[in-house]
Chain A
Amino acid sequence: MEKLVLLSYGSGGELMRELIEKDYLKYLSNPILDELLDSAVFELSGKLAFTTDSYVITPIFFKGGDIGSLSVYGTANDLAVVGAKPLFISLSFIIEEGLPIKDLHKILESISNASKGINVNVVTGDTKVVEKNKGDKIFINTAGIGVIEPNRDWRSRKVDVDDVVIVSGDIGEHGLYIMLERLGMKTDEIVKSDMGYVGSFVLPLLDNFEGIKFVRDATRGGVATVLNEIAYKYNVEIEIEEDLIPTKDWVLQASEILGIDPLYSANEGKVVIIADKSQAQDIINFLKKFELSANATIIGKIITNKKPRVYLLTKIGSRRILESLKGDILPRIC
């Protein structure tokens, strides 16, 4: 019979030790974790960034990744966009009783690959098992710590009129693809999540351009929501052009079928950047050298600093307000 995670695994006894020592250490071993203390102990100096996030996704395995790699990249991305190099992360699993052990192994393996690939260590963690129907297969809560080199700290730079708005690549893929999966639609190989580690291009970008004034990853709520956050944070009016927004054909098609605008659909490997106009073209040229930002594009600019508002110039030339995401994203039924 298939081995399943049982309620007793989370209760701290013998089974738990076995789970940690055999399985977790097998995949995630590093000197700090291997000590198996109640807290991870390490030294760090400099300016630190500290973040936390929780990962809840159906399906847990998808094209382009799974909940394990998503939690590593997602946490690392939150650090990288503020200019921090991610170093350590914590992982807390909340597992619904009955999850096949082989699925847990797959997730651990993917966490291992993702964290090795970007050079971060999982240094502490926890596991709880909840009764059937009290969870949804597996939830992962994380925290992450990174160090910010002074030259990468963009927070004090002033966002102003004429600054350009850049997206680091084609938008809307993760959210629309996950929606198609949940609807049970068969999709081609090219239809998948864009999940990836944005630090791969954001950190070098910050090293090379002082004109970077704001960076945020456009996850839930999509690019439209991030733009509204920027408008409110700096009290500026932003105008973007629909024609300029890089979007894959399948994303446009899926968005037409489901009635979900790619501007509101989540991304897991894309950032929105506000940059000084004078460096805009150089920044684009620089970004194009990296695999994850090869399709970086200027999509608009800041037009006034009078009030917080975002406008979209539509593909037919009309102009309207672009609001942030309100409520849930659900496929239309009409």
Chain B
Amino acid sequence: MSLVKTINLNSMFNYDSQSFKLFTKEIVDKIKELVGDKEYVIMEFCGTHTHEISRYALRSILPKNLELRSGPGCPVCVTAEEDIDYIINLVLENDLGVITFGDIVNVPGSVASLSYLRAMGKDVKVVYNPMESIKIAENNLNKNYVLVGIGFETTVPMLAHTLINIKQKGLKNLFYLSLHKLTPPATIALLNSNEVKLDGIIGPGHVSTIIGTKAWEDIAYKYKIPFVIMGFEPQDMLFGIYVLLEKIINKEYGVWNTYLRSVRYEGNKTALDLIFKVFRISSANWRGLGIIPDSGLELNDEFKEYDVKLRFPLTKEIKVRKTACRCGDVLRGAIKPYECPLFAKACKPSSPKGPCMVSSEGSCAAYYLYEMN
């Protein structure tokens, strides 16, 4: 019997390195057979997939006529210039301290990044765990802070938990900026735009752990496109790609889950409940995709008092300056990172010109770090 059939993906981590390589070879051969000389384009929506595809050099072993395109699945990357500019103005106008996490501090807005503000002497703190924001606010009661919440469905529960704690403690000097985004509406926007013709979609693993496979069903049926949810080990991805190709070739559409050790049909109910205890659905501004209805989260009535936009409305209108960065096009899959004229020239991880080069999940950074041959 073939290895592909016998390896139980749930216990795959225990296989020795020889079996790993045999499995890889066998499944890559099968993928080649399926692809033949036809051309296919599949898109991974999740930034971690983007990163791992590059890290394991999957493109180098898969057939050239099977194209893996990266989508808008890097939460830092999709943060709009306007939002960075807004935070900067917030600090300059109201002298708020900023608390954030991840690499959002290095993302250039249209004029500067938060790390530039920090270097100017403004109070910009990067925490590893958002709960730390509570300690910071408690220790500096005469200063107002804004906690910048970014991330997809995966990260939101942790932030919701933080907000519940902020409320319980009755903190009056810590506010919230929700830049959270929801992935299914962005997927719809992308499929609607028809800019890139996609044959199939590599469904996100972490996000689907929270929202469940059911969240993708309507989209798959409406757009008649197969979704395969995958894990992040290279074997997970190869196996998932194989399944996805089978569906594409058989002209089947729907949602298939190959990440059984983590993803359920219903998702994670506890996490979802936590999210909607604090937030409600709103529109959101995506870099590259613009404002998409129902694709974001705002604080619900019970938590509205923490909404920084309500408490500190800006007096000036923000005018976003257009930059040469083509991150927006990259996020839509319209161009590949190396098609941006700045790529690896003016724009490198050490001097990023756009968020796609800042974040470790960004496609420009993944290409720069792993695929520059």
Q: Which residues of A contact B (CB under 8 A)?
A: 179, 182-184, 243, 256, 259, 261, 314-321, 323, 326-328, 330-334
For the complex formed, measure the closest distance between the CB of A201 and the CB atoms of chain B, giving whole angstroms: 27
A318 touching B61, Cβ below 8 Å: yes
> With an 8 A cutoff between CB atoms, is B102 at the interface?
yes
> With an 8 A cutoff between CB atoms, is B57 at the interface?
yes
A182 touching B128, Cβ below 8 Å: yes
Kindly supply a per-residue 1/0 record for chain B positions 341-356, scoring 1 wherever the CB is within 8 Å of any chain A CB and 0 otherwise.
0000000111000000
Could you say which of B155, B238, B371 contacts A333, with CB atoms under 8 Å apart? B155
Ordered by A's residue number, 29 sampled pairs between the chains whose C-beta atoms are within 8 Å are: A184-B132, A243-B17, A314-B55, A314-B234, A315-B21, A316-B21, A316-B234, A316-B238, A318-B57, A318-B58, A320-B54, A321-B369, A321-B371, A323-B370, A326-B369, A327-B349, A327-B358, A328-B106, A330-B126, A332-B47, A332-B360, A332-B361, A333-B76, A333-B101, A333-B154, A334-B48, A334-B73, A334-B74, A334-B361
> With an 8 A cutoff between CB atoms, is B93 at the interface?
no
For the complex formed, measure the closest distance between the CB of A157 and the CB atoms of chain B, giving whole angstroms: 31
For the complex formed, measure the closest distance between the CB of A234 and the CB atoms of chain B, giving whole angstroms: 21
Known A-B contacts A184-B129, A316-B235, A321-B370; A327 and B106 likewise in contact (beta carbons under 8 Å): yes
In the assembled complex, which residues on chain A have CB atoms less than 8 Å from the CB atom of B51? Answer: 259, 332
In the assembled complex, which residues on chain B have CB atoms less than 8 Å from the CB atom of A316? Answer: 20-21, 24, 56, 61, 234-235, 238
Q: Which residues of B contact A (CB under 8 A)?
A: 17, 20-21, 24-25, 46-48, 51, 54-58, 60-61, 73-76, 101-103, 106, 126, 128-129, 131-132, 150-152, 154-155, 206, 232, 234-235, 238, 348-350, 358, 360-361, 365, 368-373
A315 touching B20, Cβ below 8 Å: yes
CA distance A325 to B79 in the complex (A): 24
B20 touching A334, Cβ below 8 Å: no
In the assembled complex, which residues on chain B have CB atoms less than 8 Å from the CB atom of A184? Answer: 128-129, 131-132
In the assembled complex, which residues on chain A have CB atoms less than 8 Å from the CB atom of B206? Answer: 334
Could you say which of B103, B151, B365 contacts A328, with CB atoms under 8 Å apart? B103
B150 touching A333, Cβ below 8 Å: yes
- Judged by DSSP, the binding face of A is loop
A330 touching B103, Cβ below 8 Å: yes
For the complex formed, measure the closest distance between the CB of B74 and the CB atoms of chain A, giving whole angstroms: 6
Given contacts A323-B370, A332-B102, 8 further A-B contacts (CB under 8 A): A183-B129, A261-B55, A320-B54, A320-B370, A326-B349, A332-B51, A332-B360, A332-B361
In the assembled complex, which residues on chain A have CB atoms less than 8 Å from the CB atom of B358? Answer: 327
Which residue of B has the minimal Cβ distance to A333? B102
CA distance A315 to B129 in the complex (A): 32
For the complex formed, measure the closest distance between the CB of A230 and the CB atoms of chain B, giving whole angstroms: 19
Which residue of A has the minimal Cβ distance to B16? A243
B46 touching A315, Cβ below 8 Å: no
CA distance A331 to B102 in the complex (A): 7
In the assembled complex, which residues on chain A have CB atoms less than 8 Å from the CB atom of B365? Answer: 326
In the assembled complex, which residues on chain A have CB atoms less than 8 Å from the CB atom of B73? Answer: 334
In the assembled complex, which residues on chain B have CB atoms less than 8 Å from the CB atom of A314? Answer: 55-57, 234
CA distance A316 to B101 in the complex (A): 33
Could you say which of A179, A261, A320, A330 contacts B102, with CB atoms under 8 Å apart? A330
In the assembled complex, which residues on chain B have CB atoms less than 8 Å from the CB atom of A319? Answer: 57, 60
In the assembled complex, which residues on chain B have CB atoms less than 8 Å from the CB atom of A182? Answer: 128-129
For the complex formed, measure the closest distance between the CB of A158 and the CB atoms of chain B, giving whole angstroms: 28
In the assembled complex, which residues on chain B have CB atoms less than 8 Å from the CB atom of A332? Answer: 47-48, 51, 102, 360-361
In the assembled complex, which residues on chain A have CB atoms less than 8 Å from the CB atom of B150? Answer: 333
Which residue of B has the minimal Cβ distance to A318? B57
For the complex formed, measure the closest distance between the CB of A66 and the CB atoms of chain B, giving whole angstroms: 19
Which residue of A has the minimal Cβ distance to B154? A334
For the complex formed, measure the closest distance between the CB of A40 and the CB atoms of chain B, giving whole angstroms: 37
CA distance A328 to B46 in the complex (A): 21
In the assembled complex, which residues on chain A have CB atoms less than 8 Å from the CB atom of B17? Answer: 243, 315
CA distance A332 to B366 in the complex (A): 13
For the complex formed, measure the closest distance between the CB of A266 and the CB atoms of chain B, giving whole angstroms: 15
A183 touching B24, Cβ below 8 Å: no
Known A-B contacts A320-B371, A333-B155; A256 and B20 likewise in contact (beta carbons under 8 Å): no
B20 touching A321, Cβ below 8 Å: no
B106 touching A331, Cβ below 8 Å: no
In the assembled complex, which residues on chain A have CB atoms less than 8 Å from the CB atom of B76? Answer: 333
Could you say which of A243, A330, A334 contacts B47, with CB atoms under 8 Å apart? A334
CA distance A239 to B106 in the complex (A): 32
A334 touching B131, Cβ below 8 Å: no
CA distance A159 to B365 in the complex (A): 31
Could you say which of B46, B60, B103 contacts A320, with CB atoms under 8 Å apart? B60
CA distance A49 to B370 in the complex (A): 37
In the assembled complex, which residues on chain B have CB atoms less than 8 Å from the CB atom of A320? Answer: 54-57, 60, 370-371
CA distance A328 to B368 in the complex (A): 15
CA distance A319 to B58 in the complex (A): 9
For the complex formed, measure the closest distance between the CB of A62 and the CB atoms of chain B, giving whole angstroms: 14
In the assembled complex, which residues on chain B have CB atoms less than 8 Å from the CB atom of A318? Answer: 24, 56-58, 60-61
In the assembled complex, which residues on chain A have CB atoms less than 8 Å from the CB atom of B101? Answer: 333
For the complex formed, measure the closest distance between the CB of A243 and the CB atoms of chain B, giving whole angstroms: 4
Which residue of B has the minimal Cβ distance to A132? B139
For the complex formed, measure the closest distance between the CB of B342 and the CB atoms of chain A, giving whole angstroms: 16
Which residue of A has the minimal Cβ distance to B58? A318
A183 touching B128, Cβ below 8 Å: yes
CA distance A179 to B102 in the complex (A): 13
In the assembled complex, which residues on chain A have CB atoms less than 8 Å from the CB atom of B46? Answer: 334
B20 touching A323, Cβ below 8 Å: no
In the assembled complex, which residues on chain A have CB atoms less than 8 Å from the CB atom of B348? Answer: 326
Known A-B contacts A184-B131, A316-B234; A334 and B152 likewise in contact (beta carbons under 8 Å): yes
